[in-house]
Amino acid sequence: MNKYNQNLLSLYVHWPYCESKCPYCDFNSHVNEKIEVDDWIKSYKNQLLAMKEELIQNNINFRHLDTLFFGGGTPSLMPLKIVESIIDTSKKIFGFKKDIEITLEANPSSYETKKFVKFEQLGINRISIGAQSLNNKYLGFLGRLHNIKDVKIALNDASKIFENISVDLIYAFHDQKIHDWTNELESFLNTYNLQHLSLYQLTIEEGTKFFKDHKNGFIKLIDNDKAAEFYNISNIVLNDFGFIKYEVSNYAKKGFKCKHNLNYWNSENWIGVGPGAYGRLWSSNKNLNRIEYQNYKNPKTWLSKNLLQPEFEKITKLNTNISDIDTLTMGLRLYEGLDVSKINDLSIINFKSLEELKKRDILSFKDDVLKVNKKYMIKLNSILDYLINHWI
């Protein structure tokens, strides 16, 4: 049985629309369409009320929301009336911790930048800007509608308004030169005072345009050794600029780790509202089993199902095995490692593999904390396979 007392609570709000669909993206995102603002407000509200009921039914021990995250899609395209209503309603229903972190993902186009002031007035205190590249050639390749000039405008405006700014970047393209990337990164970090960075190496996701292009030989990926080189050099550059790497792809200045994502990686409780969003709660009624709430993915279906009364597509009681593998997989992403008392049944770990990984200094296991050695973080998926299934 899980002996760990998860008592933090996060709320994820999904906005499913974007100006266009990027060829690499497999998120639940759809090209903008005309919507009825009041219908969306009603559906989000119904879901928030339903989740409050679930928290009570499952005896969840929490005091107010710790974090709220508007993700997407492109939530900076959300009508302000909807953002305002979600913030007001969730504050009324759950209450906000005094130091609540409220993040909103924004795309760097001028239309959305004008809304920054209003977002801040509504209570958003962390902005995550999807710059994606520091190079116009790669922005074009990624199918983005913005260019470097737009990134600069967005960051200049954001800097005047927010004290907590994060930027998302994709890197390690097939023809990218390491010194070009590090030069761009250094000059960027010299210009802007950022608190957080998420650096993702390009992945090819099934169902995307890039997946087809890759299959047909139009897109090449860099090999694993070069990817590792990009990864290690990025760590060095960011370290020089005072960023602490705290997760596989995430870096923060002191005091600015993303609290919301930490709650996912630490397997705390979270609620998910909006199309395709899911939430997970630990029910103290049923021997601390985990329950997953899955929303309808298609925006129109979600809207029609939630307009009159709340409805989830699926509510699943996760079995111990699935829940434990998830806790292990998420927890090992963190540089500070995982407290294994969060795992119900430690037999999911193959102890022979664990000994071998310890012997090779790939993993450490001390005072109940299991940790991947920083230098092997890029091989996390293979390490997990070996640890759980005993094969790589």
Ligand X SMILES: C[S@@+](CC[C@H](N)C(=O)[O-])C[C@H]1O[C@@H](n2cnc3c(N)ncnc32)[C@H](O)[C@@H]1O
Is 142 or 237 the residue whose CB approaches ligand SF4 more closely? 142
Position 170 contacts ligand X (CB under 6 A): yes
Q: Closest distance between ligand SF4 and the C-beta of residue 54, in Å?
A: 28
Do 293 and 279 contact (CB within 8 A), yes or no? yes
Position 71 contacts ligand X (CB under 6 A): yes
Is 53 or 205 the residue whose CB approaches ligand X more closely? 205
Q: Closest distance between ligand X and the C-beta of residue 302, in Å?
A: 17
Position 72 contacts ligand SF4 (CB under 6 A): yes
Residue of 130, 272, 274, 331 that binds ligand X (CB under 6 A): 130
Alpha-carbon distance of 149 to 142, in angstroms, equals: 16
Alpha-carbon distance of 191 to 156, in angstroms, equals: 10
Position 211 contacts ligand X (CB under 6 A): no
Binding at 71: pick from ligand X, ligand SF4, none (beta carbon under 5-8 Å per type): ligand X
Is 29 or 198 the residue whose CB approaches ligand SF4 more closely? 29
Position 9 contacts ligand X (CB under 6 A): no
**For residue 114, what are its two tokens?**
């004008």
Q: Closest distance between ligand SF4 and the C-beta of residue 131, in Å?
A: 12
Do 331 and 337 contact (CB within 8 A), yes or no? yes
Binding at 337: pick from ligand SF4, ligand X, none (beta carbon under 5-8 Å per type): none
Residue of 4, 25, 335, 365 that binds ligand SF4 (CB under 6 A): 25
Which of 24-32, 250-258, 336-344, 357-365 is the region at the interface with ligand SF4 (rule: CB under 6 A)?
A: 24-32
Alpha-carbon distance of 109 to 222, in angstroms, equals: 30
Is 94 or 116 the residue whose CB approaches ligand X more closely? 116
**For residue 346, what are its two tokens?**
């430690």
Which of 17-25, 62-70, 159-167, 346-354 is the region at the interface with ligand SF4 (rule: CB under 6 A)?
A: 17-25
* CA dist list (Å): 252 to 156, 196, 235: 19, 4, 12
Position 274 contacts ligand SF4 (CB under 6 A): no
Residues at the interface with ligand X (CB under 6 A): 18, 24-25, 27, 71-72, 74, 105, 107, 130, 132, 168, 170, 200, 202-203, 205
Residues at the interface with ligand SF4 (CB under 6 A): 18, 21-22, 25, 27, 29, 72-74, 107, 130
